[in-house]
């Protein structure tokens, strides 16, 4: 099997840990460089204890032109601005790019500015990226050169609602609450991720203004949703990893519960990393540490000619919501078996 030389940029955080762990075990990848602003000159295990003895690589702090030298694939866990600088440095080189930031997920530079704050660092590069949700864009991802991996909240909500958007049943308002783990805030502690506070608390942040909102609306609209509006409230929870979303919408009274359940089962029947549990609703613990997502639903009684639906979706924010999905995308980009290194079922945290 041909081996592709890969570099991870922004590799000292939690996403970098999962990317490194999987790429070091990947039969078609040779991880040759891991760059970061901290731990420079120290082995990977200085930041990622589980990699002790697994690699002789050390963290390097290199400018973009040097960081991409001699590699076939670049995976970036960087902020949007530095990500754009790397893509600009690559230019027309034969280097595949997989970006985990929000820089290239939205199709519009104006939408990016509205939801992320600053002006887009490289609007001319937006059309060249494929949105990396394999369950929607698998064919476009095969052989792609540049991929924007989705956000963790976005992946969770999209997987829950995608079957109904594609069936033409997602029409109008959707309301969603997403509960996330502390690792989603990064490896550097802050006042809101400090364990003594986080472990006994629930708090919302960026309610109705979270930047994954337009990403979700964009994706589901492309899939078939009509006149979609999304009210999204994220909540920080006392978990170290995992994400759980509850999404509410309504369908006409004539749409039966059995049809809705059938849509969910049939849509994901052949998907390698999305499960629809038969005897329970999704749970974070069932997917923790794995690249699997779970989806399920409950249906309420008809009121005023409309039937309420609650869709539940769960995944590991660092895996299917982050680095795991990036590896899944990388496998598709390189036209490899999509499940390579990703079939570990995880386990109790």
Give CA–CA dist 349/344, Å, rounded.
Answer: 14
pTM recorded for the entire structure:
0.96
pLDDT at 81: 93
pLDDT, one tens digit per residue, over 178-222 is 999 988 877 777 877 788 888 899 999 999 999 999 999 999 999
Strands 4-9, 73-76: pairing kind: parallel
Residue 348 pLDDT greater than 70, yes or no = no
pLDDT at 184: 80
| CATH tag for 4-149+322-333 (out of 3.90.330.10, 3.40.50.720, 3.40.50.300, 2.60.420.10) | 3.40.50.720
Provide the residue ranges of all domains of the chain, joining segments of one domain with +.
4-149+322-333, 153-315
Class of the CATH domain delimited by 153-315: alpha beta
Residue 349 pLDDT greater than 80, yes or no = no
- Short-list 60, 98, 102, 103, CA closest to 76: 98
- Short-list 101, 81, 95, CA closest to 7: 95
Among 35, 152, 176, 262, the active-site one is 152
Residue 11 pLDDT greater than 70, yes or no = yes
User: pLDDT band for position 137 (50/70/90)?
Assistant: very high
Q: What is the average pLDDT across 273-301?
A: 97
User: pLDDT band for position 152 (50/70/90)?
Assistant: very high
pLDDT at 189: 73
- Residue 152 falls in the annotated catalytic set: yes
pLDDT at 74: 98
């Amino acid at each position: 099997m041909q081996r592709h030389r890969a570099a991870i940029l922004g590799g000292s955080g939690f996403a970098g840990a999962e990317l490194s762990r999987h790429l070091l075990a990947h039969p078609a990848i040779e991880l040759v460089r891991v760059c970061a602003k901290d731990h420079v000159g120290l082995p990977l295990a200085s930041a990622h204890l589980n990699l002790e003895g697994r690699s002789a690589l050390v963290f390097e702090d290199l400018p973009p032109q040097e960081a991409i030298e001699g590699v076939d694939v670049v995976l970036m866990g960087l902020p949007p601005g530095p990500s754009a600088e790397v893509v600009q440095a690559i230019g027309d080189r034969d280097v595949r790019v997989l970006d985990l930031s929000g820089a290239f997920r939205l199709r519009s530079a104006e939408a990016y500015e509205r939801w992320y704050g600053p002006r887009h660092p490289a609007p001319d590069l937006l059309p060249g990226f494929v949105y990396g949700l394999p369950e929607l864009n698998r064919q476009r991802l095969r052989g792609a050169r540049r991929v924007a991996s989705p956000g963790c909240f976005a992946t969770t909500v999209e997987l829950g609602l995608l079957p109904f958007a594609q069936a033409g049943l997602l029409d109008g308002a959707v309301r969603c609450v997403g509960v996330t783990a502390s690792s989603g805030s990064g490896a550097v502690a802050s006042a809101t991720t400090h364990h003594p506070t986080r472990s006994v608390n629930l708090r919302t942040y960026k309610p109705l203004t979270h930047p994954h909102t337009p990403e979700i609306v964009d994706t589901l609209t492309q899939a078939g949703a009509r006149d979609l509006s999304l009210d999204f409230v994220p909540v920080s929870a006392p978990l170290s990893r995992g994400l759980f979303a509850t999404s509410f919408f309504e369908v006409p009274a004539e749409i039966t519960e059995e049809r809705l359940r059938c849509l969910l089962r049939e849509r994901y029947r052949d998907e390698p990393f999305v499960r629809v549990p038969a005897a329970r609703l999704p749970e974070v613990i069932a997917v923790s540490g794995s690249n699997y997502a779970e989806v399920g639903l409950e249906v309420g009684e008809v009121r005023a000619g409309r039937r309420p639906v609650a869709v539940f979706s769960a995944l590991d924010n660092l895996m299917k919501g982050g680095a795991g999905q990036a590896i899944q995308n990388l496998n598709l980009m390189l036209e490899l078996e999509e499940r390579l290194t990703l079939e570990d079922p995880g386990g109790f945290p």
